[in-house]
Chain A
Amino acid sequence: MQRRLGDRLLAAALTASIATVAHSEAGGDPERGAALFNECAACHQVGQGAADGIGPQLNGIFDRGAAHSQGFRYSEGLLRAANNGLVWDYESLDAYLENPRALVSRTRMSFDGFEDPQDRDDVVAYLRLFSASPSDIPEAAPTATAVDHSVAPEILAIVGDPAYGEYLSGECTSCHQASGDSNGIPSITYWPSDDFVTAMHAYKDGVRKHPVMEMMAGRLSNEEIAALAAYFKDIE
């Protein structure tokens, strides 16, 4: 995922202000939560300039109901829950982070859950920093992930054929589940095309290491990678 320089500067500025961190009313530590948020950061962004990625950006989730990020394609399960009045507060988020599928059936959030209640407290405390804050929550630094590979713009610009991608996906779905479930093998559904293409090229160029993926990506042409990206982005 691309992180802008501005985010990094913001992060640096905010880190300086964490000196005295108050705990949330539930006893969570937002600084520890920020570190735990690394597990979420592959899909979710928070903070200034946060955008939807594989998962929706998580600013303001406590201010409005669930499924509030405009333009993000939430699962039917979550939309239904939101229509039925699901709001994110300490309790609902604690339950969701413990076992997403138990709270929202068929959620697209492929995450096994934080087993330790303290972990959940801490992540929730961290997330609270990005909603209109009640008095006891100070600000904290948003997380930032490094970019491990860059791909030429003309390659990123290739428009893939989803039908060809569907045929090619047969090679992927022996391991990566079309449902988006992940269990030892990551989910590859709903990735924004740029991220998908970048990851595949990182394997193809041997920058990102994994023998199976390097082999698979190694024999895919730029067009074929684009086709796969197009197919998996909007998979039903």
Chain B
Amino acid sequence: MTFNRRTFLGTAVAGAAALSAPMVMGAGHGRPKVVVVGGGAGGATVARYLAKDSAGEIDVTLLEPSRHYYTCFFSNLYLGGFRSMDSLGHSYGGLAAEYGINVVHDWAIGVDRDAKTVTTAGGHTLPYDRLILSPGIDFVDGAVPGWDVSAQNVMPHAYKGGSQAELLRAQIESMPQGGTYAMVAPPNPYRCPPGPYERVSMVAHLLRDINPTAKILIADPKENFSKQGLFEEGWEAHYPGMITRIGPDFGGDVIEVDPAAMTLTIDGMVNNVDVCNVIPAMKAGRIAEIAGITENNWAPVNAIDLSSKMDPNIHVLGDAAAQGDMPKSGYSANSQAKVCANAVRGALTGSTVFPARFANTCWSLIDTDDGVKVGATYEATDEKIASVESFISQNDESAEVRAATYRESLGWYDGITADMFG
């Protein structure tokens, strides 16, 4: 029997009955199959590297609901007016056309680990020899009292890329003069550690232009945050008097919101706000939980190949994984994807597997031409992905260095999106 992609996915076939029986394709029937769930920094990269480096020896399917991917990274720069939304958009066409990846725009809703299949919302069953989950994050239900997904158009999170960022920007632009932009910051661990604070910087930059008497209020359950010294110095220099951050010592962890009344209550004190950017506590993208490979909200993985500690045929990349010392960032996901691709390709085709090496750099923009960065290299240990060496921008850097740091981040954006999408 000849299977090709069209027959087994049955996109032209009306009757789903033909597909409901478990498919017998897989090891021993043609090429080994890898299904990748999630087409972001982790998933797109791993799919591309597997397809490209195996020269067609591995059948790669990429399951991603968005037809056009808007990067969450750099969306803060869109808020600040430094990038257009379009410039953050990327098509999956190249992955489909140039790498022969089967790009399926659908949601994964189930994983049968014994049968080794993934079921999709569209009613299809995808068999796998290896499954790679890179589903990003979801929010913990009830983490912020008064807020749930039905309120996200009133109090956006804008923490998953795409339309929420445009919504948030529109809301900020409509603020009354002298109004308040409030942010409920998330507890550790969360995606993109400096992200909320770069966002505050970018919102301040926008407000300084369009609404200079506006205020920014941050309720933060954390005492410290990534690049704190650099951000606080920058806020003082560029946006003096605009930003107030209430940490846990002043009740920043006792929060309640009321989307109907547009209030943010911090430790019993009710604040009327004009924009309320709620970024709730996070957990692994839900499909990881559905697959049964999470523990305490995240998926534990083996550092050498990102395989799940609960299932050797499933790998988890990026934010959803409990990845040791690496922060949850696009750069990390892309870095882990390459280690995973090398390991999976080796396991399925016998190619050389090289020792794991990881790196991460996070750039943040505080104001025009004032960029800072933090980063590290990592290695795989039995226990976790462990940090080897790190660096961080310094407080007393010259303006030239900060401007160069910003320009580098632009180069990185082009580099990583080329690495993801070809």
Contacts and interface: CB of A to CB of B under 8 A. Distances in A.
A211 interface: yes
Interface string A172-191: 01111111011111000000
Contacts of B388: 219
Nearest to A214: B391
A41 B327 CA distance: 40
B411 A185 contact: yes
B357 A173 contact: no
A167 B415 contact: no
Given A216-B359, A216-B377, A185 B418 contact: no
B389 A181 contact: no
Interface residues of A, number: 25
Nearest to A174: B416
A183 B411 contact: yes
A174 B414 contact: no
Interface in B369-422: 373, 375-377, 388-391, 393, 404, 406-412, 414-416, 418-419
B352 interface: yes
Given A170-B338, A218-B389, A183 B375 contact: no
Interface in A148-196: 163-164, 167-168, 170-171, 173-179, 181-185
A147 interface: no
A174 B334 contact: yes
B3 interface: no
A42 interface: no
| Most chain A C-beta atoms within 10 Å of own C-beta, residue among B357, B410, B411 | B411
A212 interface: yes
Contacts of A177: 411, 414-415, 418
Contacts of A173: 415, 418-419
Interface string B115-148: 0000000000000000000000000000000000
B335 A184 contact: no
Contacts of A167: 342, 352, 354
A127 to B, nearest CB: 28
A183 B407 CA distance: 8
Contacts of B376: 215
B181 interface: no
B418 A211 contact: no
A183 B415 CA distance: 9
Contacts of A215: 359, 375-377, 389-391
Contacts of B352: 163, 167
Interface in B348-380: 352, 354, 357, 359, 361, 373, 375-377
A225 B352 CA distance: 19
A219 B388 CA distance: 9
Contacts of A174: 331, 334-335, 359, 412, 415-416, 419
B145 to A, nearest CB: 39
A114 to B, nearest CB: 19
B298 interface: no
Nearest to A185: B411
B107 interface: no
Nearest to A172: B415
A175 B411 contact: yes
B49 to A, nearest CB: 7
Interface string B252-291: 0000000000000000000000000000000000000000
Nearest to B355: A167
Contacts of A185: 408, 411-412, 415
Interface in A204-236: 211-212, 214-216, 218-219
Nearest to A218: B389
Contacts of A216: 359, 377
B414 A171 contact: no
Interface in B301-351: 331, 334-335, 338, 342
A184 B407 contact: yes
A170 B49 contact: yes
Nearest to B406: A184
A184 B419 contact: no
A23 to B, nearest CB: 34
B281 to A, nearest CB: 28
Contacts of B410: 183-184
Contact of A178 (B357, B373, B411, B418): B418
Interface in A63-85: none
A176 B375 contact: no
B389 A212 contact: no
Nearest to A219: B377
B331 A181 contact: no
Given A184-B409, A212-B361, A215-B375, A171 B415 contact: no
27 contacts: A163-B352, A168-B357, A170-B342, A171-B335, A173-B419, A174-B412, A174-B415, A174-B416, A175-B411, A176-B411, A178-B418, A179-B418, A182-B411, A183-B411, A184-B406, A184-B407, A184-B409, A184-B410, A184-B411, A211-B375, A211-B391, A211-B393, A212-B361, A212-B408, A215-B376, A215-B389, A216-B377
CB-CB nearest 5 A-B residue pairs: A185-B411, A184-B407, A184-B411, A170-B338, A211-B391
Given A175-B408, A212-B408, 9 more contacts: A168-B354, A175-B361, A175-B412, A175-B415, A175-B416, A177-B414, A178-B418, A216-B359, A216-B377
Interface of B: 49, 331, 334-335, 338, 342, 352, 354, 357, 359, 361, 373, 375-377, 388-391, 393, 404, 406-412, 414-416, 418-419
